[in-house]
Amino acid sequence: MTSGYDEAYRAFQQAFAGYSDGSRLDHLRATDYERLDRLGHVYLDYTGGSLHAASQVRRHADLLLSTVLGNPHSDNPSSLDASRLVDRARASVLSFFNADPAEYDVIFTPNATGALKLVGEAYPFEPGGRLVLTYDNHNSVNGLREFARRRGAQVTYLPVLTPDLRVDGDAVLAELGQITRGKPHLFAFPAQSNFSGVQHPLAWIERAQQAGWQVILDAAAYVPTNRFDLSTVHPDFVSVSFYKMFGYPSGLGALIARHDALGTLRRPWFAGGTITVASVQDERWHHLASGHAGFEDGTVDYLGLPAVEIGLEHLSSIGIDAIHDRVMALTGWLLTRLTSATHSNGAPMARVFGPTGLDRRGATVAFHLMAPDGTAYEVGAIEDRANAARISLRTGCFCNPGDGEVAHGISKDAMAQCFAGPSVPVSFLDCAETLRASIGRAPNTLRASLGIASNFADVHTFVAFVETFRDLPFGSMLPR
Ligand SMILES: Cc1ncc(COP(=O)(O)O)c(C=O)c1O
């Protein structure tokens, strides 16, 4: 590395604590995640998906090669072995999140979306009941409103406010005070926005519950780099995707739910695996299994699930706090460099959407790169250049329309043009072009996010990439 790198590294270490030299994470980067450097990748999309360690895959392969595992819905030896491993995976999820098995159950799903849909389709929404959501939910949470609307519940959004893209806490508490007692009310918010990195107060959970609400907390973007302790907060429902936590396997998530909350859900159907007994001689005859079994449709991923226990053990062996401290130190340096970079004429080179400091935020940074005349370069053109440098950024809207609409100042009237009529199909590109006419550019955003294998060199390479745009006129960056 150059002396420029050494100097930057020294300055970084002086300014930000938590990134200890020679740490276990440095060692893992050089061993378990060595493919990143061998293949020359700068991976900056951990909020999209984390990366697996080589040792996770090896342990999983060893397990599969040393066992005979069959479909768990049986009592033969291979089936019982599979059931035992599935039970262990379930127990490991509860233990990782410090959840009391007497209070919480774990339902395995294909991903966080599957967890959210299980709640949405079974929640007893009805007229007089309410669904309140913050603007910065992922679309997989926003979709809950379709179930609520169809069943006559009132749907209300709480806006995020510029510049930090946070929700006004007083507005939240005021909204939660507005309920008809005796009706079901659900409050849905992300522990961390996958767009802005904003972390909302988890204290809202108890306040909402005291006011008569159930709470669904989307923890998908939060849990990969933050300690989440279900003995200190008690949301009714929590959604997670395991690949976002430890990369592998990529087809499993969970709904972690309080037993009492599960008991309030009414499943719209039954399936293999979810009933104790069903008959065809009267179409009304079936008994739903209690607890998680009643929610896991069909056969669970019994070969994949042991890899969840392995992944959680991997995270625990490093320590979620060590991962958190390291990525936050890196995020601090990244934010400082992005917000202080200027063109020779003094114009800022970047605009960060969301908090520019480390207070109440995670390691996800949304931004634009700006030309010397103050115009944002086309996101697609930046992505092309990043791709050429083997830097994996995320671009687009990140399935988070609320943060995007506020960050880009898109008015309701402008947005309405994409929804001229329910029968007119509008593609994402058509909508982006329509919005370009209103706000002067496509409403896309760039996102860099850090995770378990991130190191200073990754962020340094990215900052050096940003600096290649210094004094580059807008016109010289052709759109795709
Ligand atoms: C905050 C948040 N919630 C939910 C999801 C949906 O996760 P999945 O696609 O794994 O179902 C994502 C994915 O990016 C997310 O970031």
Atom of ligand 1 nearest to the CA of 219: 1
Amino acid 343: pLDDT: 98
Best probe residue, ligand 1, of 194, 200, 361 (max atoms within 8 Å of C-beta): 194
pLDDT for position 434: 84
Residue 477's pLDDT is 80
Burial class (CB in 10 A: 0-12, 13-18, 19+), 254: buried
Angle at CA of residue 59, ends 57 and 63, nearest 5°: 115
Residue-level pLDDT at 423: 59
Do residues 167 and 158 touch, judged by C-beta distance below 8 A?
Answer: yes
Pairing of strands 160-161, 166-167: antiparallel
Q: What is the pLDDT of residues 329-345, one digit of tens each?
A: 999 999 999 999 999 99
Q: Indicate yes or no: pTM above 0.85.
A: yes
Tokens standing for residue 419: 């929804």
Residues marked active site are found at 399
- Pocket lining: 455 vs ligand 1, CB cutoff 6 Å: no
Say if ligand 1 is within 6 A of residue 112 CB.
yes
Distance from C-alpha of 150 to C-alpha of 55, rounded to nearest angstrom = 47
Question: Comparing C-alpha atoms, which of 249, 253, 251 is closest to residue 241?
Answer: 253
Mutate to test the pocket of ligand 1, among 45, 241, 242, 394 (most ligand atoms within 8 A of CB): 241
C-alpha of residue 249 to centroid of ligand 1, in Å: 15
> Distance (Å, rounded) from C-alpha 363 to C-alpha 462?
15
Q: What is the distance between the alpha carbons of residues 146 and 148, in angstroms, rounded to a whole number?
A: 5
Show the low-confidence residues of the chain (pLDDT under 70): 1-2, 421-425, 478-480
Q: How high is the pLDDT of residue 428?
A: 78
Do residues 316 and 9 make contact, with C-beta atoms less than 8 angstroms apart?
no
Residue 106 · residue 160 · CB < 8 Å: no
C-beta 144 within 6 A of ligand 1: no
Which pLDDT value is given to residue 1? 56
Atom of ligand 1 nearest to the CA of 190: 1
Ligand 1 centroid distance, CA of 46 (Å) = 12
Comparing C-alpha atoms, which of 446, 440, 473, 454 is closest to residue 350?
Answer: 446
- Mutate which of 46, 395, 399 for ligand 1 pocket (most atoms within 8 A of beta carbon): 399
